[in-house]
Amino acid sequence: MSKNYNNCLSQLRKIKNIIQLKGKNSRDREAVYEEMEVLEKPQKIIQVSLPVRMDDGTLKVFEGIRVQHSDIRGPFKGGIRFHPKVNIDEVKSLAFWMTIKSAVVDIPYGGGKGGITVNPKELSQTELERLSRTYIRKMSNDIGPDKDIPAPDVYTNPQTMAWFMDEYSNIKGKNIPGVVTGKPIEIGGSLGRDKATAQGGYFVFENIKKKINLRDKVEVAIHGFGNAGANFAKIASDNGHKVVAISDSKGTVFNKNGLNINELMEYKRQNGSVVGFPNSEKIKWEELLTLKVDLLVPAALEGTITKEIALGVKAKVILELANGPITPEADEIIDKNNILVIPDVLANAGGVVVSYFEWVQNLRSYYWDEEKVRTQLYNKMNKATDVVWRAKEEYKENMRTAAYIAAFLELSKSLKVRGI
């Protein structure tokens, strides 16, 4: 799906029709009538201006957004991205996906998302800190540990969350770590949060791999080498899989015998990009997406796999670590070509699951060891994968549709008992 909110609405209506037609009992079929319409509109959209003094003394005014899509199942939850292309329509779509995602993995959260229209690469650390603190000041009445809990997303990180948490705590006059997740460990972050999205995606893939009898050790291509992509590369390679190609925003590296991921991570740390990595060939990123591999992992931005690219995709499985990396037109082609897509709302939900664990730890002031986080994540991801797979078999639909069906049935149950 692409980041267009109209696509979210079409998806919602499509699923409603499928459940009404194929729902296994009248309870499920009835569940989706009126209640589902509530999900068509975000509950609240907050737009703020963010005046920030630059290091050279000049003033710049940025735009900040927070979309609170639904809190039917619990507080709004979702990341905040810093990117020049951030806009309301995109943030609405991302917030909608968070509502679905929280329901798919059955955590007591709703969906929200936020962002600032900015190119963070053009700002110094001190400018970024002032921008982050200004955003939280402007949003402070609308967020909170039992209301709306932000987290990192594209080009935001634990440091950004630390500034958010500190500013919010200053405003409220007490320490409130549970207001954001994805924090540094020193101030209440959870062990295992840094690689949670990749680890969760990996658990889902291993589960699916057995269901479809894919060979044990697979060949992987990964588009995006940030938090999600690089951690996935490391986990896959540590588990004996062969990662043959990796892209970042500057280019793509390929080695048919497998890239050494530990060395590549170090190379990227020193050089700022994967490009030029020794023992690798430079290819175009379109070539990476159409390589004949077992597993393709889009882990960069939305809309990467377009119709044109979809026609050439030869992977057996696509694990959507990025949100919405396949456009709707491309999705149809990929589906027709019998390529199994593990949808974003399941594939990358590990991040929000460990965010939930972090929040639980903050509320209780009792901190888990990494093994407990890993085991709990494994349980949650496996259970969600099984639920989605069951819906896939029951409704005879692809995994994306099945994930939405599973989520909508959960959401409509909550809507029904709460009343409107």
In the complex, the residues that contact ligand NAD under the rule CB under 6 A are: 153-155, 197, 223-229, 247-249, 285, 299-301, 321-323, 348, 351
CB of 397 to ligand NAD, least distance (A): 23
Measured distance CA(340)–CA(218) in Å, rounded = 15
Select 76 or 155, whichever has its Cβ closest to ligand NAD. Answer: 155
Select 225 or 357, whichever has its Cβ closest to ligand NAD. Answer: 225
Q: Is 413 assigned a catalytic role?
A: no
Residues 415, 38 contacting (CB under 8 angstroms) = yes
Residues 41, 47 contacting (CB under 8 angstroms) = no
Do the bridges between strand 340-342 and strand 148-152 make them parallel or antiparallel, or are there none, so unpaired?
unpaired
Select 12 or 352, whichever has its Cβ closest to ligand NAD. Answer: 352
Tell me which residue of 72, 111, 117 sits closest to 95, measured CA to CA: 111
Select 135 or 395, whichever has its Cβ closest to ligand NAD. Answer: 135
Bridge partner residues of 243 (DSSP): 220
Select 73 or 195, whichever has its Cβ closest to ligand NAD. Answer: 195
The continuous run of DSSP H or E covering 283 comes out as strand 281-283
Residue nearest to ligand NAD (CB): 226
CB of 172 to ligand NAD, least distance (A): 26
Sign of the CA dihedral with 176 first, then 129, 66, and 115 last: negative
Sign of the CA dihedral with 5 first, then 402, 200, and 364 last: positive
The one catalytic residue among 3, 77, 92, 113:
113
Measured distance CA(378)–CA(146) in Å, rounded = 26
CB of 323 to ligand NAD, least distance (A): 4
For 84-157, where are the alpha helices, taking DSSP H only?
A: 88-104, 125-139
CB of 232 to ligand NAD, least distance (A): 9
Positions annotated as catalytic residues are 113
